[in-house]
Amino acid sequence: MIQHKTVLFILILTIVKSKCSRTISWDPNIIKENLDEIILDKQSFVTCSQEEIVNLKELNLNSIPTELIKSKTIQAISLENNEISIVPSDIFYEIPNLQCLDLARNKILPNNLEMKHDRLKILILDYQKNLESNRNKIFLPVKMKGRFPNLETLSWKNFKNDILTSIAASFPRINNIYLSDSNLQYINNISIFPYMKNIHLENNLINELIGYNFRNVEELYLDNNPLYDLSFDPKFTKNLKILSLSNTTLNFPKLNIPSLITLDLSQNRFHFTNENILEYTLSLENLILSKNEFDKFPNLTSLNNLKKLSLAYNIITNVKDISVTKSLKMLSLRGNQIYNINEKAFFEFTELEFLDLSENKLQSLPFAWNKNLSMLKYLNLESNYFQKIESMMLNSLFTLQKLYIKNNDIMSIDLNKLKIIPQNCTIYLL
């Protein structure tokens, strides 16, 4: 690993003599770009983001104190983690401009949500306490009295029942719904929500999803469900752009979704792909295959529009034939077991801007391996076994802006050796 004191000493000795103006960063708190998150930054929870919020969290309240909150200017209220069980019909009548209400971690059953509000946009009802003791009981259909004609986002995690059919009348214009952590085994007809765009069903028990009418849905998150059967009718998925199937224990699914742009298939123990598997997802631009069991590059040549690909944390050892469109812009091979990269492996990837080779077993890179990487801006070589910076063969990287080399076996760095790196490049040593 890089010896910080030794490197600093060598840098001090050479910086006076060298005219090198590259920036050296010693900041250990720099957060490296994670391609999986760049591709799909999943919003797993909903909050009231308004700058001014009435905060009544954790006050052990049994009812909502209307005498404390009467104002036409209030837009957000948090009553999270109290003991509230009933939300009366006119409770927020004197707060006409309320847009976000957080009632998470109370004791509210759907039948007791009687509230009506015309301007509320976000309602959070996650993890109601009284449901914990009823985890294994069968719930009867609920009947909601509340009415929220303009609500856009509903988060009701850990509800332990399928409420989609029951809430259609209460939330007629809902766009986004979060029903994660609810032990759901199935979902009812989504088509009853004509404005629904984003559906979060992570961490449930859904094992089958066949031919559902997703109508106007653009984003569907099914992570951490034990799916064994999954199929989509392209007639009912014309607007689906993002599909997340991380850790779903699926066989590699054959997806017929021509509109799909982003697909997450991480953590599924896949070890091969048939080139025909994704033949009907030709619009796909972003693909996450991290944390699987690929020992070589899967054949993805049919995906002519692919721009971002993550194969992080697989078991690839040798990079030779990369069966991917040559217009790829971002590639992550972080956390594999790569010890060898063929000198011609990246020759045709002239549009590549981002390359992450960190956490592998590289001791050297071949001469001219980067000859045609004329657009490369980001290169991460952290946590390998390089003993000299010269072994990285960093010549020809004229557009490089960020270079990460910490946690290697480098004992010292002479700044004069860095002259081949562009002057506007920042080198991260810690």
pLDDT tens across 158-206, in order? Answer: 987 667 777 888 999 999 999 999 988 888 777 778 899 999 999 999 9
pLDDT of residue 5: 41
Query: Rounded to whole angstroms, how far apart are CA atoms 231 and 208?
Result: 9
Alpha carbon of 34 to those of 152, 318, 330, 355, 428: distances in Å? 30, 22, 11, 11, 16
Confidence of residue 352 (pLDDT cuts 50, 70, 90): very high
Query: Rounded to whole angstroms, how far apart are CA atoms 92 and 353?
Result: 52
- Domain limits, the chain: 52-132+140-179
- The percent of residues in the chain predicted with pLDDT above 70, rounded, is 91
| Average pLDDT across the chain, whole number | 88
Answer whether 351's CB lies under 8 Å from 328's CB.
yes
Beta bridge partners of 189: none
Q: Is the pLDDT of residue 311 over 50?
A: yes
| Beta pairing class for 100-102 and 378-380 | unpaired
pLDDT of residue 12: 41
**pTM as predicted:** 0.91
Query: Rounded to whole angstroms, how far apart are CA atoms 430 and 427?
Result: 9
pLDDT of residue 6: 45
Across 67-76, 234-243, 261-270, 389-398, least confident range: 67-76
pLDDT of residue 15: 42
Query: Rounded to whole angstroms, how far apart are CA atoms 160 and 56?
Result: 26
CATH of region 52-132+140-179: 3.80.10.10
pLDDT of residue 1: 56
